[in-house]
Structures are given as C-alpha cells and as structure tokens.
Copies of this chain bind each other. A is one copy, B any other.
Amino acid sequence: MFMKSNNEFKNLEPMFKPKSVAIIGASRDPDKVGNIIMQNYINGGYSGDLYLVNKNADEINGMKSYKSILDVKKGVDLAVVAIPAKFVPQAIEECGKAKVKSIVVVSGGFAEVGEVELQNKMVEIADKYKIPLLGPNCLGVMDPRSRIDTLFLPTYKLSRASVGSVSFVAQSGAVGSTILDLISGEGFGLSKFISYGNAAQVDEVDILNYLMHDKETKVIVMYIEGIKRGKEFVELAKKITKIKPVVVLKAGRTEAGASAAKSHTASLAGSYKTHEAIFRQFGFTIASDLSELLYYAKIFASEPMPKGPNIAIITDGGGTGVLTADAIGSSKSMKLGTFSDDISKKLRKIMPVLVNIRNPLDLAGDADSKRYSDAITLLKDDESIDIIVVIALFQTPGADSRLAAELIRIKQLISKPMIVISIGSQYTEMHKIMMESGGLPVYDSPASAIESLSALYDYHRYLKH
C-alpha cells in the first residue's frame, strides 16, 4: 500500500540546526497554520535567516514574502511546508530545484485520509532530489538550542520546554504535544522533539539513527503506534541502547488499543508481544502510560547508574517512609538496604535520641536542613547503600527552602543516585521547581520514584550483562 523509501541520504542535521528556514505557506491570517509557525519563529528567538513564501503575497506583516522558494535564491537548510495537500508535490519539486536540504510537511490530507497516491508522489519527488522529508500530517520538530520550532500550536496553549538532554519522538501529534507541554514543567528539559506523523519517508529508524549519534541527546523517549521497517529496527535496537537509554511507550498493547491504532495511523500495530520481546531483549525501558514516560525520562536524564539495588530512605514523615518501603517491597529489582554498623553508630551519635536508627530513617516532623544534611552526609559513604531516596514533606514545620537548598548542595557531593519525593500543592510545587532547577529530580509519589529507580537499575544490569 505505502511506497517506502530506503535511501541513505536521510541526514536530519539540517532539520534541527538549519542556518536558514523557509516557511512555505506563511500567512498574515491568524487562523492559518502558516501564521502560527511564522509567529513562533519571529518570537522564539531563532537567529538564522528566515524566508517567508506565499504565492499570493509580496509582503507579510512588514516582512518580505517570496512567491516561490525558487525566488529566494539563497541556500535554505529547512523548508517548513504548511499549504493544502494538493499543492505540496509542486512545492517539494521547487524545494528540490532550490537545493533545500531538508523538509518538514506539517500539512494533513494525505494517506491518513486515503490520499495514498498524493503522498507517494510527494515522497517520489523528495527521493529524486535526495531530500529528507518529515511528515506529512505531523507537528514537525523542535530544538530549544537552535530555536527551531515548526509546531503550529501557540505558546500560550503549549508551553515550550527549556534546553535539556531528553529527546522525544512521537508518531502522534496529540501525544507529542501533550508530552511536550508537560515537559515544560519538568527540570530535565528538551534536546529534540520530533513528531513524524505518517512517516511517509523519514521514519522511526531514521530518527533513532540520528538521535543515537546526537551528542546533545542523553536520553531518547518515544511514543510509537507501529514500526514499518522491522528488520532495520531490530538492527538498530541492538546498537542504540548500548549508547544511550531508550524509553518506549508502544500503543496497541491490548486488542482494543491495537484496533484503535490501526484506525488512527493506518499502520499495522503488529503483535504487541513481538514488539515487547524485542524491546526487552535489547534493554529498552518500557512504559505503559504517558506519566511513566516522564518519570523514566527524568531519572535517566539526571542520575548516575546505581551500583546495586539497596535503597536508603531518609524521611520527615513516618507514614510516607512506610509507603516508600512498600513500593520497594513491591518492586522486582529494588531492595530496602541495611545501614552498615559503622554508619549506624555514627548516626546514633549525631541524631536526636528520638530518631530510631534504622531504614527508613525517620528524622521526625521537626527535622530541619541540618538533620537531613547530617544523615545524608553519612549515608553517602555507606557502602551497603547504593541509592538515596530523600522524602522531604514541605508541610512539616522544619522543611523550607533552606532544606531544598541544602539538598541541592549535597547532591553535588554525592556519586550515588539521589532523588527526592515531595508531595503537596503550592508550597511544595515551589520547592519542587527549585530543586529540579538545581539538578535534583523530584517525584510526587513513592510508587513513581521507586519504579523509576528500578528502570534505571534494570538498564544498568542490561549494560553489564
């Protein structure tokens, strides 16, 4: 049904780091997609050359507009195409003649609505000129470093993420946009965002190939509905997780979902079990829901590999310590560690008499930054402890921004994974933002924290085996 290009020319670098961008379909009409994309470039701080192309305009909002990309007569690294589907093949032909280096087609109206011929024609032209083409029917790409942003969603609706090390790949525009929006509230930030829609030419294999070698990308997170080039994917899968962690959420886990996915992107979801087996074999981290994607991205973005599964819990709330111990007990990989005798004795000496020296270490509701600091400073050198989980409940009398600052300070002195669990509303949220800005990942429930640590440790074991 679909023609599939297999050429080797698909270098995506000009899509993410273009020195010049042309918006084909730029518009002064605020209801048009081309207008929003244009506005996002103008307001987003992109510092390369920007060319507007609109066959009906010489000028748009005071900026020069070209009738065709052929009129630009300067090198264009990336052309963003946002015009009705039927005009797209002609535009691609012109891009080819103009020696454009990469193309993102955000327009819909192709295979997803039965216009397979039109889509194939478009790909044929791009292939002829050896231009990598992303889309159609996609949100395109975002890179906070180069300020590339082809999204046709205004920033008030979808907050843009800050610069970071996680790259996010999404077949679905809706899933991609919600995740991208959520990332804006997280401390880890974004390296690259790619929504690839119909995957008419550039597909998940091309994208992963690029991200595998991208130095700005430390973690790859992906939402996929189907995999088109199974054999190539497996070849890639063997290599990629040896280089960096890949977190995957695959739709169609169940019959109901698979059937819905088929209708959505017209791609065969394939047997989920087959896919899952491949993911497991090659050390992918498998998420089963959107929220898990974020949890896992967070831990991989910030934490070093744990040497073992033994967790120390340090808390200012006894009950929350118990629930975290339960989360560890429910996990297949993690263990509640036992403090060494030596460290226990040292803790006994400096902790108030009412603090029981055992794991979880309940510092009590009046614990202040010093008590936390004293405990963590000792436990960071305890060889029987591999990971430190700090529960900081900012509702308690002793917890304030001094505690958050102290935890950020200690984090820099510690070589083991160290994460924080803080649960609450405004006052807590404020301190969460503070700690995450300081490089300390914060989780909002014991379960999400421990599941994330477990994913990190499982990946470590995969690399070691």
Chain A residues in contact with chain B, CB under 8 A? 113, 152-153, 156-159, 170-178, 181-182, 184-185, 223, 225, 249, 251-257, 259-261, 263-265, 288-291, 315-323, 325-330, 336, 354, 356, 358, 360, 362, 365, 393-397, 423-428, 444-448
Contacts and interface: CB of A to CB of B under 8 A. Distances in A.
A319 B170 contact: yes
A427 B394 contact: no
13 contacts: A157-B427, A158-B395, A172-B317, A181-B425, A182-B423, A184-B425, A253-B326, A254-B330, A256-B325, A256-B326, A260-B321, A261-B322, A264-B322
A346 to B, nearest CB: 20
Contacts of A172: 317-320, 322
User: Number of copies of this chain in the oligomer?
Assistant: 2
A319 to B, nearest CB: 3
A418 B83 CA distance: 38
B425 A182 contact: yes
A315 B365 CA distance: 45
Contacts of A175: 317, 319-320, 323
A330 B171 CA distance: 22
Nearest to A223: B319
A254 B329 contact: yes
B253 A320 contact: no
Nearest to A185: B425
A241 to B, nearest CB: 23
A3 B113 CA distance: 73
Nearest to A429: B185
B362 A153 contact: no
A223 to B, nearest CB: 7
A121 to B, nearest CB: 20
Contacts of A362: 263-264
Given A182-B425, A185-B425, A263-B356, A396 B174 contact: yes
Given A153-B397, A318-B264, A395-B158, A423 B290 contact: yes
**10 tightest A-B contacts by CB?**
A254-B329, A174-B317, A172-B319, A257-B326, A175-B319, A256-B329, A264-B318, A260-B325, A181-B424, A289-B447
